[in-house]
Amino acid sequence: MRKAGETFTQRILRQSFSGWGAKIGLIWVGILTLLAVFAPFIANSMPLLVSENGNLSAPVLRYLTTEDIIVLAAFFILLFLFLSPLRQSLKTLLFVFLLMIVGVTIVSKQFVVEQENIVYENFRHDLNSEKYDWAVMPMIPYAPRDYLRDVRRLPLEAPLADKQYVHWMGTEENGGDVLSRMVHASRIALGIGFLATGIAMVIGVILGGLMGYFSGIVDMLGMRLVEIFESIPTLFLLLTFVAFFGRSIYIMMVIIGLTSWSGYARYIRAEFLRLRKQDFVQATIASGLPLRSILFRHMLPNGVAPLLVGVSFGVASAILAEATLSFLGLGLVDSPSWGQMLNQAVKSSVFNWWMAVFPGGAIFMTVFAYNLMGEALRDAIDPQLAKKAGVVG
Amino acid sequence: MSDQQEKNNKKKSLQLKEGLQQKKQEQPSSLIKVENLKTWLQSGGDTIKAVDGVSFSIEKGQTFCLVGESGSGKSIMALSIIQLLPEGISHHPDGEVIFDWRKDDETHEHVNMLTLDEARLCDIRGSRIAMIFQEPMTSLNPVYSIGEQITESLLLHHHGMSETEAKSRALQAMNDVKIKNAESRFNNYPHQLSGGQRQRVMIAMALACEPDLLIADEPTTALDVTVQAEILKLIRELQERKKMSVLFITHDFGVVAQIAHKVGVMKQGKLVEFGDTEQVLRQPQNDYSKKLLAAVPENLPRREKNTEVTEPLIEVNNLDVFFPIRKGLFQRVVDNIRAVDDVSLNINKGKVVALVGESGSGKTTLGRAILQLQAPTAGSVKIQGTELVGLSNKELRPWRKKMQIAFQDPQSSLNPRLLIATALTEPMKVHGIGNSDDERIELAAEVLQAVQLERDFLWRYPHEFSGGQRQRIGLARALALNPEFIVCDEITSALDVSVQAEVLELLLDIRKQRDLTLLFITHNISVVEYLSDETVVMKDGKIVEQGITSDVCGNPQQIYTQKLIEAVPRL
């Protein structure tokens, strides 16, 4: 009975991703997501699968951390919900997703034993000692923190210099494999983008929506709050926090989120102020619909479009903020991040080009990809603007 | 003949050249001659034949009216003549526009506008062919005073003219278009002028260089009817005095009757009828022109008015809606804009009451204040004896379903994100109409049938519909709750005349079937005469006159109403 035509959202998405720019952006972010989710299986020192006297075992699973499991679970739950034939409303889907994630977190906290110090040398020893009948190794057979101290004396090595232990992108100053570290670092890059922007978006939508709908005194107070938050320099606040509370990626995400919502609040406020006077909103009031429905069913979906554009640029700037911080040497100590790798490249006395080019290129590509998508979204939402700019669609 | 002309002619076949010369001899006074003009626009992969083989000519000192509905290609026609088409997406596969170019030294040259090079086009544009547009708000540059803008266009086209001379010419032009106190107005900025005055400035700018052809693209559509009457009179006078030709584009046959010597009717890029005004308006030959003329409200078959005496359904007493003007540091209220000022009005059950007024008269605000969409400052609104002013949203809800509203703008009146089915059933659900979703879908389908739309439309989104269809869906939404009273806020103003006729007929049918009471807000007097039983005239927030429609429109008592009725362009 219900066969609907193309929805507004579908139309916007189709138009956005019909151009090559947005497609490239989407493909790049898609690759990054896959890398981030399957990082332990792509780059690790332990074998994926071994046969020991006829018994099969997967050492890599034994060393998965809670974080790995949550990320993997989130990915597969999302994939399942997206592909499942059950067509539920977005609200229920989100609820189911959160519920399942919390469940997985609790379960994995119970059962996963975090391995504090993994001795990577042992794996190589096992592999060489013909203990296994056969073994399947990951694509990049080095863990990000495997510094290969047993293998070589000089840690720094250019790409493809060693014939026995091949490093496609060379090694960093401790001897870790650059490619492996970059794969694992994509998690931080994506995570900080999504989480920081997510926090900012939620705060921005709620405050901006209230300001726009009620206007008057609420609007005035809200806008003053926005101005206060806009005058906070995020980077210096981050520096201060890192100095006092130590280095934690989650604190960074929260601070970036808490200080960057003002832009989204402004967007939503302006949209709601405009929508309030629109005829179809007046019609919902005339039909006596409850405020909840007016705000969230009729106004928000119509006002969210410019926000999405802002978000895609916001993700890019959050990634840059983390990279900046790591570059200044105030990021995470041991966990790999692109900015931190750039920092190493600069600190070294000789210019090791592979240390600068690969992480730098990854940051550039990611920020560029988000900007491309943001640009395409904006053009699809506001075709007038694209026409004025001379972009023939 | 100049080299350019010869070069142009070489491109044409010999036959055509001879044909043209022959015609020139027959009609020596024609200023512009359009021959088989085709303008095709490129949009995505499609080619739109916006103008498709149109031929006509405009004599010197005559007004030619191009009439048509939206999308008929009349504006593209005008832009093709002056060669201001959007670059890159338009081309002319065929045709020519021969313009009799009077040069500064009073020699004449016949040029083809389509093949003329840009430098020479610039000499013609503005000085020999001038154009005025529909929207006087956006056609003037807000950062320059109107005097500067007129002077600039003069200096541009008259090389060697001194600034003082240009200024005096500009003043002269402003006097010509009857801007009062031209001297003091000279340094005013566009925002300090009313819409009608801005349109006068536009005309003054266009006429300052004394063009031979004035192209006016719907110059009065955005204006009130009394202002429109003044502007039309002005264009007519200037045209006679300066002996210029006018190409007047409009969708309003009333305007055509006022101003045109000759008329062309356009439909989908083709000129379907062309002839003298009297002949086209009285004895149209083409089926389409006949249909268009029959759809003009004045020509619609009159219906019997409802003259029964009935109980009042809505009673409005001493209603005020003020918008405070705040100033200063503490946002002190210094004055009020009195949008609705002490209005008392009864709307009787089963009647169609028309609320007429010019823009800014407060008619829309009054309509919304009755529905409690706009909180009144003071006064009372009663429906079936129950006071509505001061009720909370919750207390209002049971009354909401008895009174509904339909809007003017078909673009913004429907939520673009919701299916028509959702838009129609959600209010039903809130008000407890229908027991299940399926039942409500059935009810929604019935409502759609009532406005003569297909059931299938339930599963579509607003952007898939035309303006007329959206307007019907807007009506359907108002009808979904089975109300007793509907405020129709200019619902036909954005529609073409033939669509307007259909919507009006439909509205009357539904009114009869469902025993509705309507408050029909409009600025169009001919619609009022056709539709309403009673008429209320508003001006500056106050009711000027009210009564039976035939009395108010046929024998108005108040001076303002008389002026208003007189200003309506009649066929």
Phi-psi region of B53 (alpha: psi -120 to 50; beta: other; left: phi over 0): left
Please state, in angstroms and rounded to a whole number, the distance separating the CA atoms of residues B392 and B397: 9
DSSP secondary-structure letter at A298? I
A10 touches chain B (CB under 8 A): no
Nearest CA in chain B to A275: B412
A9 touches chain B (CB under 8 A): yes
Count of residues making up chain A = 393
3-state secondary structure of B337: strand
Mutual angle of helices A216-230 and A178-214, in 10-degree steps: 150
Measured at the CA of B481, the angle between CA B475 and CA B484, to 5 degrees, comes to 80
B127 touches B157 (CB < 8 A): yes
Mutual angle of helices A178-214 and A20-37, in 10-degree steps: 120
Contacts of A11 in chain B (CB under 8 A): 463
Q: Is the pLDDT assigned to residue A154 strictly greater than 80?
A: no
Please state, in angstroms and rounded to a whole number, the distance separating the CA atoms of residues B32 and B175: 29
- Cβ neighbours for A103, distance < 8 A, ≥ 6 positions apart: none
Q: Which of A3, A12, A278, A280 to mutate to test the interface with B (most CBs of B within 10 A)?
A: A280
Contacts of B397 in chain A (CB under 8 A): 288
Pairing status of strand B129-132 against strand B213-217: parallel
Q: pTM of the predicted model, to two decimals?
A: 0.75
DSSP secondary-structure letter at B458? G
A265 touches A206 (CB < 8 A): no
Q: Between A and B, how many CB-CB pairs are < 8 A?
A: 82
Are B400 and A279 within 8 A, CB to CB? no
B520 touches B503 (CB < 8 A): no
Quick one: pLDDT at residue B55?
A: 92
**From the CA of B443, how many Å to the nearest CA of chain A?**
15
Please state, in angstroms and rounded to a whole number, the distance separating the CA atoms of residues B16 and A3: 57
Structural tokens at position B169:
């010419």
3-state secondary structure of B318: strand
Are B371 and A286 within 8 A, CB to CB? yes
pLDDT-derived band at A7 (thresholds 50, 70, 90) equals low
CA dihedral (A191, A195, A200, A204) positive or negative: positive
- Cβ neighbours for B110, distance < 8 A, ≥ 6 positions apart: B5, B24, B98, B99, B100, B101
Please state, in angstroms and rounded to a whole number, the distance separating the CA atoms of residues A285 and B16: 65
C-alpha closest to that of B230 among B205, B257, B197: B197
pLDDT-derived band at A6 (thresholds 50, 70, 90) equals low
The H-or-E segment that residue B213 falls in is: strand B213-217
C-alpha closest to that of A359 among A343, A348, A374, A370: A343
Q: CB-based burial of residue B122 (10 Å sphere; 0-12 exposed, 13-18 middle, 19+ buried)? A: middle
Please state, in angstroms and rounded to a whole number, the distance separating the CA atoms of residues A29 and A12: 19
B180 touches chain A (CB under 8 A): no
Q: Which of B415, B438, B491 to mutate to test the interface with A (most CBs of A within 10 A)?
A: B415
**From the CA of B402, how many Å to the nearest CA of chain A?**
9
DSSP B72-118: SSHHHHHHHHHT-PPTTTEEEEEEEEEEEEE-TTS-EEEEETTT--H
A138 touches A42 (CB < 8 A): yes
Quick one: pLDDT at residue B307?
A: 78
Which among A4, A285, A302 has CB closest to B415? A302
Contacts of A90 in chain B (CB under 8 A): none
Are B459 and A4 within 8 A, CB to CB? yes
Tens of pLDDT, residue by residue over A158-193, are 787 777 778 888 888 888 888 998 999 998 888 888
- Cβ neighbours for A88, distance < 8 A, ≥ 6 positions apart: A96
Structure ipTM: 0.73
In B310-407, the DSSP E strands lie at 312-327, 332-348, 352-356, 378-383, 386-387, 403-406
pLDDT-derived band at A2 (thresholds 50, 70, 90) equals very low
> A370 to each of A195, A200, A264, A311, A377, how far by Cα in Å?
15, 17, 17, 9, 10
Phi, psi of B268 (to 5 degrees): 45, 50
- Cβ neighbours for A241, distance < 8 A, ≥ 6 positions apart: A251, A255
A169 touches A354 (CB < 8 A): yes
Q: Is the pLDDT assigned to residue A325 strictly greater than 50?
A: yes
C-alpha closest to that of B404 among B523, B314, B503, B496: B314
**From the CA of A100, how many Å to the nearest CA of chain B?**
30
B128 touches B158 (CB < 8 A): no
Pairing status of strand B352-356 against strand B378-383: unpaired
Which among A3, A279, A288 has CB closest to B407? A279
A285 touches chain B (CB under 8 A): yes
B464 touches B453 (CB < 8 A): no
Quick one: pLDDT at residue B19?
A: 46
**From the CA of A384, how many Å to the nearest CA of chain B?**
14
Quick one: pLDDT at residue B13?
A: 46
- Chain A residues 293-312 with a CB less than 8 Å from chain B: 293, 297-298, 301-302
Are B460 and A4 within 8 A, CB to CB? yes
More confident residue, B201 or A118: B201
A383 touches chain B (CB under 8 A): no
Q: CB-based burial of residue B245 (10 Å sphere; 0-12 exposed, 13-18 middle, 19+ buried)? A: buried
Residue type for position B20: L
Contacts of B427 in chain A (CB under 8 A): 284, 287-289
Quick one: pLDDT at residue B15?
A: 47
C-alpha closest to that of B135 among B207, B222, B70: B222
Are B461 and A8 within 8 A, CB to CB? yes
Are A302 and B426 within 8 A, CB to CB? no
Are A8 and B409 within 8 A, CB to CB? no
C-alpha closest to that of A182 among A316, A362, A378: A362
DSSP A222-279: HHHHHHHHHTS-HHHHHHHHHHHH---HHHHHHHHHHHS-HHHHHHHHHHHHHHHTSH
Please state, in angstroms and rounded to a whole number, the distance separating the CA atoms of residues B562 and B530: 18
Give, for all 571 residues of chain B, the pLDDT tens digit. 455 555 555 544 444 444 444 444 444 568 899 999 999 888 767 888 889 889 999 998 899 999 988 888 888 898 899 888 877 788 888 888 999 888 878 888 888 988 888 888 888 888 889 888 877 677 788 889 988 888 888 888 777 788 899 899 889 888 888 888 888 888 888 888 888 888 888 888 888 888 899 999 888 887 888 888 888 998 898 888 888 999 999 988 889 998 999 999 999 889 999 999 999 998 899 999 999 899 888 888 887 777 788 889 999 999 999 988 877 767 777 788 888 999 999 999 989 999 998 888 889 999 999 999 888 999 999 999 899 998 888 888 889 989 999 988 877 888 887 888 888 998 998 898 888 888 999 999 999 988 888 888 888 888 888 888 888 899 999 999 999 999 999 888 888 888 889 889 999 989 888 889 999 999 888 899 898 999 999 998 999 999 998 889 889 999 999 999 988 888 7
Are B415 and A282 within 8 A, CB to CB? no
Measured at the CA of B257, the angle between CA B252 and CA B258, to 5 degrees, comes to 100
Q: CB-based burial of residue B559 (10 Å sphere; 0-12 exposed, 13-18 middle, 19+ buried)? A: exposed
Which among B368, B409, B464 has CB closest to A5? B464
Among A3-7, A111-115, B25-29, B536-540, the range scoring the smallest mean pLDDT is B25-29
Q: Is the pLDDT assigned to residue A320 strictly greater than 70?
A: yes
The H-or-E segment that residue B446 falls in is: helix B437-450
Please state, in angstroms and rounded to a whole number, the distance separating the CA atoms of residues B265 and B253: 10
Quick one: pLDDT at residue A385?
A: 56
Are B417 and A2 within 8 A, CB to CB? no
Pairing status of strand B534-539 against strand B378-383: unpaired
Which among B416, B419, B430 has CB closest to A289? B430
Tens of pLDDT, residue by residue over A203-251, are 998 899 888 888 888 899 999 999 999 898 888 888 888 888 877 888 8
3-state secondary structure of B47: strand
